Structure 1
Amino acid sequence: MASNIFGTSGIRRVFMNYSESDVMLTPQMALEVGLALGTYLDGNANVVIGKDIRTSALPIEYAFISGLVSTGCNVKTLGIVTTPTLAMSQRYLRADAGVMITASHNTPEYIGLKFWGPSGMGYVPEQEEEIERIYNDKAFLNIEWDEVGKVTNVDDINDIHIIDVTNRIMFDGSNLHVIADPGNGSGCEIVPKLLSAYDIKIMTINAQMDGKFPGRNSEPSKENLIQLSKFLKTSDQDDIGIALDGDADRVIFLDEDGVIVDPIRLLTLMAVDYLKRYKDTIPKENLKVATPINSSSLMEDVLNPLGCEVLRTEVGDIKVAEAIKEKGGFLGGETSGTYIWPRTHLGPDSIGTIAKVLRMIVESGKTLRELLNDIPDYPYYRKAFKLKKDIPFTDDINEKIIKEVKEVLEGKGKKLKNTNKLDGVRFDFDEGWILVRRSGTSPYLRISGESSVNLESSKEMNELVQEKMKKLDLI
C-alpha cells in the first residue's frame, strides 16, 4: 500500500526506533527516504544536512546519510544549526540540495525531514511527490561499492552566517538591551553570538541546547512566553525580547512592555521600512509582499496605498516562497513568525530578521512599540482544536463546513462577501472574516479571523463556528 509520507512542511512524525508501518518516523524509514532523495538527484549531487537539538535527530541523521551516500551523493554535515543557517549554506556551499532534520515547533517526541533547493526554498509538492513515488516503489538507484559518496563536516557555518548578516545589515547596537529566549533550541549558539557581534547588551533565558525542551514548549506562543514577558515587564533596561522555536525558523518579538508583537503587524512595518529605503530601486514587478490567506487584511490597507501589492497564498513558508519566486516580491511572512527575504534566499530567515528589526530601532531612535504606532491593530483571534480523527479534509468535508458557517453568518445577520477555498475555507463578510482550516503539520483544526468591530466580536464568531465544528464531529 502506497504511503503519503509528506505533509505541508516535509515529513514530520513521532519518532520510533522500529515500526512495520510509516505512521512513525524510524531510522529504517529515514534510510529509505535518503535512498529516494539520492535517486531523485540521480546520485550525482552535493547535499548539505543540518539538524536541530531533538534527541532523535541523531539516529535519523545517520540512517538518512547512509541512504544518500548509498546512491553516490556526497554529503556535507553542519551539525546542530538553525533552519535559516541551512538555507543560507546552500549558496555558500554550492549545494544541489539541503536537508534539515527537525520537527520545528512540535513537541519533543516528534522528528522530521525537510528538503531544500539551491535557492534556499523548500521542495514544492511536485518534487515531494516524485520522491514519494520512488520511496513507495522502492525504485532506488543501484551503484557499485566504489561509487559510494563521501561525508565531510563543516564546523564554522554559524560564524560564516553571522559574518554574512553583519556585512549586509550594519548598525551600532551598543545602546540596546535585549533578552533572548531560544527555547533550548538550535538558536542557542547563533543568536547570542549575532547580538554580541552588534555590541548589544544581552540577557538569555532557556539558552542551553536540550532536545527535551525543559525551559518551555518549543512553539513561541503566548502561553509559552510568560517568563520572557515577565522579565521585560519588570526590567528598567531591556528594549526588546526575542523568542524562537526549536529550529529557529520562527521568531517572535516582544516590545519593551513584554507585549507580544503580532507577526503580521511587524511584517507590514518591515515592508514599509523596506519601501522607504529601496522603493526607487525595486523593479515594479517586485513591489509585492506575499502572505497566506490567514493573515490580517491590515496588510492591504497599509501597503496598497504605497503601491505595493499583497499576494495571498496557502499557509506555509514554501507556499509563500513559491509565490515570490513565480510572481515576484521583496518580502514574505506568516502569522507564525516566519519571514522570507528573497534577496538573501527563499527560506525562513529569523536571523536576518532579528538584525533588520534591531536596525530599525537603532536608526529611528524609537522603541518597537513606537514604531508600530502607525500600523493598525485589527482585532484578530484564533484557536486550535485537536481533531477527533487525524484525516485529510476532503471536498465533502469542506462543503459541510461551508454550509454550517453560512448558517452562523446568516444567524448573526452578516452579509457574506466571498468564500475562498485556497487553503481551508475563508469567509469574508461585511465586518471581517473567519477561516477554518486543518493544520498541515499536526492533527489540529485551526479557526481564525478578525473583526472591524472589536475583539469580542472576533471571539464570538470563533465560538459559534467551534460549536458547528463539534456538530460535524470534527473536534
Structure 2
Amino acid sequence: MKLLKIGISGVRGIVGETIVPELVMDFACAFGTYLDSNNVLVGRDTRVSGPMLHEATLAALISTGCDVLDFGICPTPIIQYMVKDLKAGGAVSITAGHNDLKWNALTFINQDGTYLNMFQGEEVLDIYHLGKFTKVSVDELGRAEAVDGYLDVYFKKLKKFLDSESIKKSNFKVVIDPCNGAGAKIIDVFGQHLGFELIPVNNEPNGYFPHDPEPRPRNAQEVASVIKVVKADVGFLLNSDVSRVSLVAENGETLSEEFTLPLIASYYLDKNPGTVITNHSSSRMIEDVAQKKNCPVIKAKVGQSYSIQSVLNEDAVIAGEGSGSVAIPDFQHAFDGFLTMGLILEIMAKRNKRISDLVEELPRYHIVKEKIHCPPTRIHSVVNEVKKLFADRKIDSMDGIKVEDQDGWVHVRTSATEPMIRIIAEDRSEDKARERAEEVLNFVSLRVK
C-alpha cells in the first residue's frame, strides 16, 4: 500500500512510493502560488533523499515567481526564526523529523515563522487539488540565492534570551546526539555560543541515521554509555530537524521524552506564570506542575500547528508535547530543540542541581506508548469503534478517543505522520498503565487484521 499523509502544514510519505519529484513539485507550486511571488526560505535535514526533493522544491518555487533564500541543511526551528528576521513570505522545511530514513516530507511555514494554521493549510490544499498554479514568464522567474551567516544571528539571539553567563560559569560537559541529522555540526556552534564543553555523538551530516531519529530512551544507550565514561553533566538526543529533545541524566539514566516539557515548565513558570498548552497524549506531569504554580492548562490536538495556534489564541507562556517538544513564545512560536537544551542547562546552572535531582522533584507516572499499523481507508472507523470499549465511561473525542479517571488515562488516536493508530496510557502504577494500553491494543488488533 502506498502511503501519503497530507495535512494542513504539509505532505509526508515514503520516498520512491508517494514522495516523488512530481508530487513534491506540485505541492511546492501550490505553496509558491499561495505566497504570490513573495520571498521564501528553503532548508532541509540530511536525509539522502533531501537533495532530490530540495532541487524539485527550488525549481517549483522559482517557476511561480518566488525568490528563494536557500539555507541548505538547516534545522527547522532556525528556519522558522529566520523567516521573521528576514521578513520573508514563508518557508519550506524538507524533513520527516522523527520518522526513519525512508520517509521525507515538505513542511510549510507562514510569514510569522509558524506552521500553517488550518485556514492557510486548506487554502494551499485547494490550490494543489485544483492544479491552478501560478506560471510566470522567463523574465519573471524567481531567483535562488544561498544564504550564510544565519547561525550567528540565531545563536546570538538565543544567547541573549538565556542566562548564558550562568551556563558558561558552570563549565558543563554536555553529550549531544543529533543522529547525523540537521543538527550535526551545528551543535558545535551552539556549544561555542553558550560556553560548555561539547562531547558530540553521531555528529556527521551524512544522512545515515545510526538509530531511529526519535528522541526516546530506547535510542539513548550510546549517549548513556558516553556520559558514564566522560563523566558528563547531561546528555541530549535530538530528532532529525531539532524540534524534539530527550534527556539522559548524569548517572546514565535514559529519561522519557515526557520529562522535557514539565522539567522546563517547573522552572519557567516561576518567572513567567501563565497559561500552559499541551495535548491529550502528554503525561499528567505537566498538569501537576502547572497546578502547583496556579497556572491553567489548555489541551490542543497533537501537532505543532495546533499547539502554536492555541498559544496565539490563549496568549500562553509555554507550550509543548510529550514527544520532547517545547515552545516558548517570548523567544519564538516554534518547537525549538536548541532553546530546549539551553533552558535545561540554565535550570541546572541557576538551581545548582543535577538532572537526576531535578527529575526527582517532578511527580512520577508510568506511561506506555503503543502503535499498530492500520490501512488508511479503515483507520478512522477502527478508532471510532474503540468507543464500544468504554460505552459506560465519559469519552473525550476532541482528538481521537480519551478516557480518564483519578489514577490515569488512555488515549487512542490516528497518527498525523504515519498510517497507524497510536495508543498511549498512563497510570501511577506501571502494571495498570500497561493493562490500560493492552486492553485497547487487543481490541484494535482484532479489527485491523
TM-score (norm 2): 0.94
CA contact (8 A) 1:9 1:441 kept: no
1:4 CA displacement: 8.0
Does 1:364 pair with 2:348? no
After superposition, the C-alpha distances for 1:96-126 in whole angstroms (9 at most, x for unaligned) are: 1011011111111211100111222101232
Q: Deviations over 1:347-389 (max 9, x none)?
A: 21111111111011011111012122221011211112222x2
- Counterparts of 1:221 and 1:272, CA distance in 2: 21
Task: Give the structure 2 partner of residue 345 of structure 1.
Answer: 332
1:12–1:104 Cα change, 3 Å: same
Distance 1:200 1:5, change over 3 A: closer
1:195 paired with 2:191, answer yes
* Residues 31-430 of structure 1 aligned to structure 2 (within 5 Å): 31-43=25-37, 45-169=38-162, 170-171=164-165, 172-173=167-168, 174-213=170-209, 215-232=210-227, 234-235=228-229, 237-279=231-273, 287-387=274-374, 389-391=375-377, 393-394=379-380, 396-403=381-388, 405-406=389-390, 416=393, 418-430=394-406
TM-aligned CA distance change 1:42 to 1:313, over 3 Å: same
Distance verdict in 2 for CA 1:58–1:438, change over 3 Å: same
Structure 2 residue aligned with 1:11: 11
| Whole-angstrom distance in 1 between the partners of 2:4 and 2:252 | 42
Q: How far, CA to CA, are the matches of 2:359 and 2:8 in structure 1? A: 32
Identify the residue that residue 448 of structure 1 maps to in structure 2. 424
What is the CA distance between 1:146 and its match in structure 2? 0.9
State the shift of 1:291 in Å: 0.5
Consecutive aligned runs of 4 or more in structure 1 exceeding 4 Å deviation: none
Tell me how far 1:392 sits from its aligned partner: 6.0
- Other structure's SS at 1:123 match: coil
Report if the CA contact (8 A) 1:401-1:469 is conserved: yes
Distance 2:179 2:142 in 1: 35
C-alpha distance in 2 between matches for 1:399 and 1:28: 35
Letter in 2 for 1:400: E
> Aligned letter for 2:360?
N
> Is the 8 Å Cα contact of residues 265 and 376 (structure 1) preserved in structure 2?
no
**Can you give the 5+ residue segments of structure 1 that lack an aligned partner in the other structure?**
17-22, 280-286, 411-415
C-alpha distance 220-268 of structure 1, shift in aligned 2 (>3 A): closer
Cα deviation for residue 262 of structure 1 reads 3.5
SS in 1 for 2:92: strand
* CA displacement, residues 224-252 of structure 1 (integer Å, 9 cap, x when unaligned): 222112223x3362110011011111111
Structure 2 Cα separation of the partners of residues 143 and 249 of structure 1: 35
Report the 3-state secondary structure (helix = DSSP H, G, I; strand = E; otherwise coil) of the residue aligned with 2:287.
helix
Aligned AA (1:186): A
Contact 2:248–2:254 under 8 Å retained in 1? yes
Which runs of 5 or more structure 2 residues have no equivalent in the other structure? none
Q: Is the alpha carbon distance of 1:198 and 1:244 closer, same or farther for their aligned partners in structure 2, counting shifts above 3 Å? A: same
Structure 1 residue 5: Cα displacement: 6.0
Q: Report the CA distance shift for 1:439/1:371 in structure 2 as closer, same or farther (over 3 A).
A: same
3-state DSSP of counterpart to 2:343: helix
Report the residue type matching 2:146 in the other structure. Answer: N
**Higher mean C-alpha displacement, 422-431 vs 4-13:** 4-13
Distance 2:86 2:143 in 1: 15
Distance 1:264 1:105 in 2: 15
SS in 2 for 1:188: coil
Number of equivalences? 444
* 1:58-117 superposed Cα distances (whole Å, 9 cap, x missing partner): 121111111111111111011101011111111111111011011111111211100111
1:322 Cα offset (Å): 0.8
Partner amino acid, structure 2, of 1:199: G
Cα 1:227–1:4 change in 2 (3 A) is closer
Q: Choose 378-387 or 342-351, whichever is displaced more.
A: 378-387
The partner residue of 1:458 within 409, 433, 437 is 433
The amino acid of 2:134's aligned partner reads L
- CA distance in structure 2 between the partners assigned to 1:459 and 1:322 by the alignment: 33
Alpha-carbon distance in structure 1 between the residues aligned to 2:240 and 2:212: 9
SS at match of 1:227: helix
Q: How big is the alpha-carbon RMSD for the aligned residues of Structure 1 and Structure 2?
A: 1.9
Say if 1:224 and 1:262 are closer, same or farther in 2 by CA, change over 3 A. closer
Asked whether the equivalents of residues 263 and 334 of structure 1 are also in contact (C-alpha less than 8 Å), the reply is no
| Structure-1 separation of matches of 2:203 and 2:285 | 34
| Distance of 1:71 and 1:335 partners within structure 2 | 39
Read off the aligned partner of 2:249 and give its amino acid letter.
Answer: D
Quote the sequence identity (%): 27
Q: Deviations over 1:244-275 (max 9, x none)?
A: 01111111111112223334433223223122
